[in-house]
Amino acid sequence: MENNNQPETAYVSINVMQALVEEKVDKCMAEADMCTCPRCRIDVTALALSLLPSKYVVLHANDTLPMLTVYANRYSAVVTTQLMAACQRIKENPRHGDNDKRGNIAFIRD
């Protein structure tokens, strides 16, 4: 790269898996025919991310969207697989309704 004048803040680190999960979660939940309340959605998101390896990449801020498309193509299948597994688990054991009792951390036990 010829351009050395960019400040370091022009770069961002992104967990590709997280970006993909957030992009796909609503569609997967709809396909799983499950509750889509905010608690279930965040539970599915957290569980799917626990099942996936994290994959951090450093991108130039201006390149974020095009580069994410490249990674999206590479990891799309595995993200969908784990998201569907997460949807299935939350659908069978929804945690909406048992909040507020304890600051429960949902997925530590496994």
Q: Which is nearer to Zn ion, 72 or 84 (CB)?
A: 84
Does 96 participate in binding Zn ion (rule CB under 5 A)?
Answer: yes
CB of 71 to Zn ion, least distance (A): 30
**Pair 9, 48: CB distance under 8 Å:** no
Distance separating alpha carbons of residues 107 and 109, to the nearest angstrom: 5
Q: What angle do CA 1, 62, 2 make, to 5 degrees?
A: 15
- Which helix (H) or strand (E) segment holds residue 52: the answer is none
Does 30 participate in binding Zn ion (rule CB under 5 A)?
Answer: no
Given candidates 16, 20, 32, 40, which one binds Zn ion under the rule CB under 5 A? 40
CB of 102 to Zn ion, least distance (A): 18
Q: Which is nearer to Zn ion, 63 or 98 (CB)?
A: 98
**Pair 12, 61: CB distance under 8 Å:** yes
User: Which chain residues interact with Zn ion by CB under 5 A?
Assistant: 35, 37, 40, 96
